[in-house]
C-alpha cells in the first residue's frame, strides 16, 4: 500500500466504507493467521516511574498519586490465576525504573514464574528502555516478547509529547527497539492515536514505520487525556472521543492489510471510548486481548489515563461477556496457547 492509499483509508468516514474496511481486514487476518484471539494477562506490577512523559498519569512529577510495587507473592498470585485460567501468557508492565535492584527483581520474578508454571506460561515484558545487557539478562531468564511503543514515529511530534532531554530521547527509543530485536525478542511497538498536533499523515507514517522496522507485534490505542499531565492543556484540540475511537479502528484495520501476519492488540484504551471497543477491534483485524489481572486495590493507582475501565469480569474471560461476544462472532479464544507472532517465525 502506498502512503496516499493509507491516508485514503484513514480518512474514510462513510459507514458503508468503514464496514467494508473492517470486514476486509478481518478476512485478511482469518485467511493469514486464523481467527483465534490470544490472551495475555496484564500485570501492572509497579507505577513507580523515573520519566515525565507529558501525556501519562503515572509520570514522575505527578505527586497526587500513591506509588506501589507488588510483592513477588502478589505477582505470583496473578500469574497463578492466569495460568489456571489457561491464558497462555502474561505481560509484566510497569513504569520505567533503571536500577540494579529493579533489574535483578525482574530477573528473579522471571525465574519464579517459569518454575511455577513448568515453563508453560509465555512472558512479555513492558518495562521501558533499558541497556542491551539488561534486555539480554531478562531474555535469558525467560521473557520472550517485549513491548516498547515509539508513541509516534515523527521526531518533531515526539518532542511535543516528551521533554527534550537524555531521559526522553527519540533516537534512544528507536535504538532500544533495534536492540530488543538483536537480543532475540519478539518485538512490539505502537503509537497513541488522536494526540494533539497529530495529523492523519503522521499516522500513515506510523504504519509505514512499523512495516519498515519489520515489527512483530503492535499495540496502539486512542490517546486519552489525564488532568494531572501537561498535555491536558491542549485538550481543546482533540478529536471528539467517537472520532478518536473510529480512527483507532481504522488504524488497526489498515495495519492488518499492511502486515497480515503480525500480532495486533485490541487495547484497553479502546474500551474506555466504547463498551465493546476491544471486541470491535478484533472484528477489524486485531488478534490479541490483554485482560487486566491487576488487583482492584492497585488498579486505581495505575491510571495512565483517567476513566480507565474497571472491567470487573475481565480476569475471568471464560465467564465474561467478552468471550460470549467473540463466540457469537465465530471467533475462538486460544486458551493455553502462547499465540506467538507468526511474522516473527516467518521472518527468522
Q: Alpha-carbon distance 105 to 304, whole Å?
A: 23
Residue 272's H or E segment, with its range, is helix 268-273
CB of 26 vs ligand SAM, minimal distance in Å: 24
The residue ranges of DSSP E strands in the chain, in sequence order, are 38-46, 88-94, 122-126, 145-147, 186-189, 192-193, 217-222, 263-266, 288-289
3-state secondary structure of 253: helix
Binding region for ligand SF4 (CB under 6 A):
49, 51, 53, 56, 58-59, 95-96, 128, 304
Q: Is 304 in the site for ligand SAM (CB under 6 A)?
A: yes
CB of 163 vs ligand SF4, minimal distance in Å: 11
Q: Is 269 in the site for ligand SAM (CB under 6 A)?
A: yes
CA distances from 186 to 110, 163, 346 (A): 17, 29, 12
CB of 162 vs ligand SF4, minimal distance in Å: 8
CB of 132 vs ligand SAM, minimal distance in Å: 16
C-alpha cell of 71? 510483592
CB of 152 vs ligand SAM, minimal distance in Å: 10
Q: Alpha-carbon distance 267 to 279, whole Å?
A: 10
Helices 15-33 and 241-258: angle between axes, nearest 10 degrees: 40
Stretch of 11-19, 31-39, 92-100, 112-120 lying at the interface with ligand SAM (CB under 6 A):
92-100
The entry of ligand SF4, ligand SAM, none that residue 59 binds, CB within 5 to 8 Å by partner kind: ligand SF4
Which residues ranging from 141 to 200 are in contact with ligand SAM (CB under 6 A)?
A: 148-149, 151, 192
Q: Alpha-carbon distance 12 to 7, whole Å?
A: 9
Residue from 158, 223, 245, 344 binding ligand SAM (CB under 6 A): 223
What residues make contact with ligand SAM under the rule CB under 6 A?
55-56, 93, 95-96, 126, 128, 148-149, 151, 192, 223-224, 226, 269, 304-305
Amino acid at each position: 500500500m502506498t502512503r496516499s492509499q493509507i491516508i485514503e483509508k484513514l480518512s474514510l468516514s462513510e459507514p458503508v466504507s468503514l464496514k467494508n474496511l473492517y470486514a476486509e481486514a478481518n478476512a485478511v487476518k482469518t485467511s493469514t493467521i486464523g481467527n483465534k484471539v490470544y490472551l495475555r494477562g496484564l500485570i501492572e506490577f509497579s507505577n513507580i516511574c523515573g520519566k515525565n512523559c507529558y501525556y501519562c498519569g503515572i509520570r514522575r512529577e505527578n505527586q497526587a498519586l500513591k506509588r506501589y510495587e507488588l510483592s513477588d507473592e502478589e505477582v505470583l498470585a496473578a500469574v497463578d490465576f492466569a495460568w489456571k485460567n489457561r491464558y497462555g501468557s502474561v505481560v509484566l508492565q510497569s513504569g520505567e525504573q533503571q536500577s540494579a535492584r529493579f533489574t535483578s527483581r525482574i530477573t528473579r520474578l522471571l525465574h519464579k514464574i517459569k518454575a511455577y508454571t513448568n515453563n508453560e506460561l509465555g512472558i512479555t515484558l513492558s518495562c521501558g528502555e533499558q541497556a542491551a545487557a539488561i534486555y539480554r539478562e531478562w531474555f535469558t531468564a525467560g521473557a520472550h516478547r517485549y513491548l516498547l511503543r515509539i508513541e509516534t514515529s515523527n521526531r518533531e511530534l515526539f518532542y511535543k509529547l516528551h521533554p527534550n532531554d537524555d531521559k526522553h530521547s527519540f533516537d534512544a527509543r528507536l535504538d532500544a527497539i533495534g536492540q530488543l530485536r538483536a537480543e532475540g525478542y519478539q518485538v512490539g511497538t505502537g503509537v497513541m492515536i488522536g494526540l494533539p498536533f497529530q495529523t492523519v499523515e503522521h499516522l500513515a507514517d506510523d504504519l509505514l514505520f512499523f512495516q519498515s522496522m519489520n515489527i512483530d507485534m503492535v499495540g496502539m490505542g486512542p490517546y486519552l487525556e489525564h488532568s494531572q499531565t501537561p498535555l491536558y492543556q491542549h485538550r481543546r484540540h482533540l478529536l471528539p472521543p467517537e472520532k478518536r475511537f473510529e480512527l483507532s479502528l481504522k488504524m488497526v484495520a489498515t495495519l492488518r492489510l499492511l502486515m497480515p501476519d503480525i500480532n495486533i492488540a485490541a487495547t484497553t484504551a479502546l474500551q474506555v471510548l466504547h463498551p465493546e471497543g476491544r471486541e470491535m477491534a478484533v472484528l477489524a483485524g486485531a488478534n490479541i486481548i490483554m485482560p487486566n489481572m491487576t488487583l482492584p486495590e492497585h488498579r486505581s493507582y495505575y491510571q495512565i489515563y483517567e476513566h480507565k475501565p474497571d472491567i470487573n469480569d475481565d480476569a475471568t474471560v471464560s465467564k465474561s461477556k467478552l468471550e460470549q461476544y467473540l463466540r457469537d462472532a465465530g471467533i475462538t479464544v486460544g486458551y493455553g496457547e502462547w499465540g506467538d507472532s507468526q511474522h516473527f517465525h516467518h521472518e527468522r
